[in-house]
C-alpha cells in the first residue's frame, strides 16, 4: 500500500529539502568512490559504460550526483522506489535490506533493528558469493 504525501515530505521545498539533497549527493559521491555509479550509463546492475577519461571527470561525477539526488527525492516524495527482482540466491539478503530500509524511514528507536538487519543481509551476501572464474 502506498502512502500519500502532500507537498513533499517536509511540507514543501525549503531548507530541509536542500540539506537532504546535499546528503544524498554526498552519498552518491561515496558510492562512486566504492565503484558504484547508478546514475552513470551502464548495464543497470553495476557495470559502468564510461571511458577512463569520463570516469575521471569531476564535472561529470558532480552532475551524476545532483541528478541522482533529485531523482531519489522524487521517488521518495512519491513513495515509489524501483528495486528490480531478486535473484533466488539472494532473496533473504534482499528481504533484510528492504526491511532495514523501511525501518530507516521510521523512528529513531527503529535504527538499531535496521543495523541488525543490514548485518544479516551482509552475512547472507558474504555466504553466497559467486565462485571466482
- Residue 60 corresponds to which cell in the numbers above? 561529470
CA dihedral 108, 114, 119, 124 (to 10 degrees): 180
Digit-by-digit pLDDT tens for the chain (133 residues) are 333 333 444 444 455 667 999 999 999 999 999 999 999 998 877 789 999 999 999 999 999 999 999 999 999 999 898 888 888 888 999 999 999 999 998 889 999 999 999 999 999 999 987 765 4
Tell me which residue of 104, 96, 98, 101 sits closest to 126, measured CA to CA.
Answer: 96
Distances in Å between the alpha carbon of 109 and those of 29, 97, 114?
28, 18, 10
Residue listed under C-alpha cell 572464474: 133
Amino acid at each position: 500500500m502506498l502512502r500519500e504525501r502532500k507537498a513533499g515530505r517536509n511540507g514543501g521545498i525549503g531548507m530541509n529539502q536542500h540539506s537532504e539533497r546535499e546528503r544524498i549527493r554526498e552519498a552518491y559521491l561515496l558510492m562512486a568512490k566504492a565503484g558504484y555509479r547508478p546514475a552513470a550509463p551502464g548495464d543497470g546492475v553495476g557495470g559502468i559504460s564510461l571511458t577512463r577519461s569520463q570516469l575521471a571527470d569531476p564535472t561529470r561525477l558532480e552532475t551524476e550526483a545532483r541528478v541522482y539526488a533529485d531523482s531519489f527525492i522524487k521517488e521518495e516524495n512519491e513513495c515509489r522506489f524501483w528495486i528490480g527482482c531478486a535473484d533466488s540466491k539472494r532473496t533473504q539478503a534482499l528481504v533484510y535490506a528492504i526491511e532495514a530500509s523501511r525501518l530507516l524511514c521510521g523512528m529513531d528507536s527503529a535504527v538499531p533493528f535496521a543495523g541488525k538487519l543490514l548485518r544479516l543481509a551482509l552475512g547472507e551476501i558474504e555466504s553466497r558469493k559467486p565462485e571466482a572464474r
